[in-house]
Structures are given as C-alpha cells and as structure tokens.
Amino acid sequence: MDYSRTHRLLKILTLIQGEKGWTSKRLALECGVTERTIFRDMKMLEGANIPYFFDEETKGYRVRKDFFMPPVQLTLDESLALAALAERVGGDEQVPFTEAAGKAISKVRSVLPQSIRTELEKIEDHVAIKLAAANPPEAARDVYQFVRAALAKKVALRCRYDSLGKDAKKRANDLFLLKPYTLFFSQRAWYVVGYHEGRKEVRCLKLNRFTKLEVTDESFTIPKTFSLEKHLGNAWRMIRGKRTFEVELWFDPQFADTVSDTHWHRTQEIEWHEDGSITFCCKVDGLDEIVWWVLSMGPHCVVKKPKELADQVQALGVAIADNYGKKTSLLTNA
C-alpha cells in the first residue's frame, strides 16, 4: 500500500472517530479524492476490522464507541492552531466557560514530540487572538451548567425569562418549558436554541436573561430536521426575521477595501466600480440587525434597496443628529 493511501485511511478514521456527519461526499472533499475512492477506502477499513457504521441519525460514518485508536501525530501547524485557540481563547476565557481548554492543551503538549514542542515554544508567544468583549462569565455560569446538563440528558427545563419588547412586563413572571436543542455562542454572549412551549416555536434565548431555571424529568427528542444553520436561515447574524429582503448597498472608495476584505454574510456578492467604489449585495431574513451595521459605516454607505432599510437608516440618522442639535441640552449639561 502506498504512503498516500495509508495517510488517507488514517485521516478518514480520525475524522469519523472524532466528529459526526462525515458523509462520503464530505470525506471526498476533505481528502481531495472522488467518492468512489472513499468507498474503496471504507472497504479497506472494513477489511482491517475497524468497526465503523453509517449512522442514520447523523447521516454520516461513525466508529463504534468501544473502539480506540491513538490519534494521528499532530503537525507543527496543527499544534500551533490548537495552542492558540486553547490558551488565547479558552485559557483567557474570551469565550466564557471554555477555560478548560487551557488545561487540556497542557495535556496535549505532554504527548507532542520534543521537536514539535521546541518549535512551538519559539512561535506561540508571538501569536495573539483578541475577540470582541463578551458578557461577564459569572452572570450566566449556573445557567450554562443547567442547559448543558439538560442537553446531555435530553430533558426539558422549567424556566422564567426576562424578555425584551412591548409585552416584557406582562410575561415577566411566566413559567414555561424549554426543550434545549443547542448551546450557541454568538458575538459576545451564549444563547440556547430550543423549543419554547409557551410560544409554541423554536426560540433563541440569551443565557444571562434567565431568572429561574430547573431541570425536569420530562424527556424529549431533538427533531432530525433541526439544525442551527436552518434555524438561523439568512439572518444577518442571529435574529431571523419573517421576511426576506434583497439588500443593495453602495460603499465609497474610502471604505470599499475594508468592506470587501471581510466575509460578512454567506450570500454576499461584491461588484467593483471604476472609481474604486463597490456595490455590496446580499439576501437577509429581517432588517433588525443589518440596519445597525449600515449605520456603523457612517456616511461611507448608501442604501440602494430595499426602501424599508433606507427609511430605517434615515430615521435613525435623524434621531442621532437630533441628539447633537440645538433641541437637546445633553451636551451642555454633561
């Protein structure tokens, strides 16, 4: 057997042993081969008595839980990536509740070859990751633990939640059952996405707004049709509106490079113009989030469509200007 195939077989085994959802198509893309080659590789694993199977629930290959094989030796690049994420993100707790990653990486270091450890020590102090400031972790630590336990046992939670909106006071003391489907960290805070029995729909709830939480004995099953990606749809970030909008924005030459350098949304398309400006197009479900992003670009962005977004930006712009105009004494009283 040639080295490339041996390496690919070990890679396939490591992937399906460590993560759900590895289909033949996904494995083929990851390994840079055809699906037919993957099928042949799976036959070889079968011949080597590797107890893999196709999991109908996750729609991917899995390895039986009682089978153990040591992981493939990490390269310098893989070791550096793990150390950077574990120590700079988890160890520094830039993402709350991931501090255990900082402890875990020390165990990984202990099994790395000396040559890799030496090279890693030369580089890692010169690699930094700085994420946006998150909510203070202690504010939701207990809630995080409750939700994680409920997810593991697949049991519902009895909750009270401090919601926002016009009916917030009316619902302030309402108790409801929540069937958690997923823990979700976005931007600056943790959320739980699950079925809200009170609202009769899947909702995304911020952990630090729960005012009461207890684990019940009521079991449930996460629908096979559910995925976080489907739930979020084409939301700009995480708040999915009920209506889809075709958005077209113009950015002047001063901001064109900055905007085009970042992948803001999965549907975005950018058209460059001779004067150095760009037209940014995307399709979003709801305008509640993207309106604030547009405002953050100041006078360098003009909404071409939809009219609803242009009207919202204009109204908010007028309100901002009023705060600094003659009609207010905010500045003089400061």
- The reply to whether 263 and 207 lie within a common domain is no
CA separation, residue 200 to residues 143, 170, 181, 191, 262 (Å): 22, 18, 14, 18, 37
How many CA within 13 A on the CB side of residue 198? 15
Token pair 């996904």: residue: 26
pLDDT digits (tens, 9 = 90+) for 117-144: 899 889 988 989 888 888 777 778 899 9
* Nearest partner of 173 among 187, 161, 189, judged by Cα: 161
Measure the CA–CA gap between 54 and 63, rounded to whole angstroms. Answer: 9
Residue 331 lies in a domain: no
- Domain of 313, CATH number, reads 3.30.70
- The reply to whether 160 and 198 lie within a common domain is yes
Residue 233 lies in a domain: no
Residue 330 lies in a domain: no
87: confidence class by pLDDT, cuts 50, 70, 90 = confident
Q: Which of 99-113, 129-143, 231-245 holds the top average pLDDT?
A: 231-245
Residue 34 CB coordination number (10 Å): 12
Residue 329 lies in a domain: no
> What 3-state class would DSSP assign to 202?
strand
237 pLDDT above the threshold of 50: yes
90 lies in which domain range?
Answer: 76-126
Q: What are phi and psi of 329, to 5 degrees?
A: -115, 20
Question: In whole angstroms, what separates CA 149 from the centre of its chain?
Answer: 20
Quick one: angle between helices 35-47 and 24-31, nearest 10? 100
Measure the CA–CA gap between 299 and 254, rounded to whole angstroms. Answer: 11
Domain count within the chain: 4
Higher pLDDT, residue 251 or 99 = 251
Instruction: Give residue 320's identity as a one-letter amino acid code.
Output: I
Which of 190, 222, 254 lies at the terminal end of a domain, its last residue?
222
- The reply to whether 251 and 319 lie within a common domain is yes
Residue 230 lies in a domain: no
Measure the CA–CA gap between 128 and 85, rounded to whole angstroms. Answer: 9
Whole-model pTM?
0.72
Residue 23 lies in a domain: yes
* Nearest partner of 97 among 132, 141, 135, judged by Cα: 141
Summary mean pLDDT of the chain:
88
1 pLDDT above the threshold of 50: no
Residue 291 lies in a domain: yes
For residue 245, list its beta bridge partners: 284
315: confidence class by pLDDT, cuts 50, 70, 90 = very high
Query: Considering Cα of 122, then 123, then 126, then 130, what sign does the dihedral take?
Result: negative
